[in-house]
């Protein structure tokens, strides 16, 4: 197998940038080698379905079937499923034209808004904590 990413390509990148870079390279390689010429919308649709499949695999790892005898949770398998989910999520971000920097900025703003909602400081109502609880 040829080396698709050289160490020097990652110099100076933070971890999120590295993840986005590596996913872009992988997706480009898959599309080229498999002759895939989907639109961004088709990619996102297929990646969403793949992510749903990975979410189901994650559920199976954590004993969601309360009607079955539980098995010990394999922490390594759970982590691997989470990374599989991340692969498809980042792929969708890329297909939507989102950079790691843009995702980071949007995440910060959304996290702040989520905290405001919990404390009744948001224009969007219905999330605030019950003061009687």
81 with 114, same domain: the answer is no
Helix axes 75-95, 15-34, angle to 10 degrees: 70
The pLDDT confidence band at residue 11, using thresholds 50, 70 and 90, is: confident
Q: Residue 100: what pLDDT?
A: 96
Structural domain includes residue 27: no
27-67: pLDDT as tens digits: 999 999 999 999 999 999 999 999 999 999 999 999 999 99
pTM above 0.95, yes or no: no
Structural domain includes residue 103: yes
Structural domain includes residue 1: no
Q: Residue 78: what pLDDT?
A: 98
Q: Residue 1: what pLDDT?
A: 61
Phi, psi of 94 (to 5 degrees): -60, -45
Q: Is 70 in contact with 63 (CB distance < 8 Å)?
A: yes
Query: What integer best gives the mean pLDDT of the chain?
Result: 92
Structural domain includes residue 23: no
Domain count, the chain: 2
Q: Is the pLDDT of residue 3 over 70?
A: no
Degrees to nearest 5, angle at CA 76 with 16 and 49: 65
User: Can you point out the beta strands (E) in the chain?
Assistant: none
69 with 113, same domain: the answer is no
Q: Is the pLDDT of residue 114 over 80?
A: yes
33-44: pLDDT as tens digits: 999 999 999 999
Q: Is the pLDDT of residue 77 over 90?
A: yes
């Amino acid at each position: 197998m040829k080396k698709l990413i050289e160490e020097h390509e990652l110099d100076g990148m933070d971890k999120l940038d590295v993840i986005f870079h590596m996913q872009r390279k992988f997706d480009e390689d898959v599309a080229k080698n498999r002759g895939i010429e989907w639109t961004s919308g088709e990619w996102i649709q297929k990646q969403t379905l793949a992510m749903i499949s990975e979410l189901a695999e994650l559920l199976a790892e954590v004993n969601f079937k309360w009607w079955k005898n539980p098995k010990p949770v394999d922490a390594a398998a759970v982590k691997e499923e989470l990374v599989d989910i991340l692969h498809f999520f980042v792929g969708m971000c890329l297909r939507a034209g989102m950079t790691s920097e843009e995702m980071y900025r949007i995440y910060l703003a959304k996290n702040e808004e989520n905290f405001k909602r919990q404390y009744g400081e948001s224009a969007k109502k219905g999330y605030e904590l019950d003061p009687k609880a």
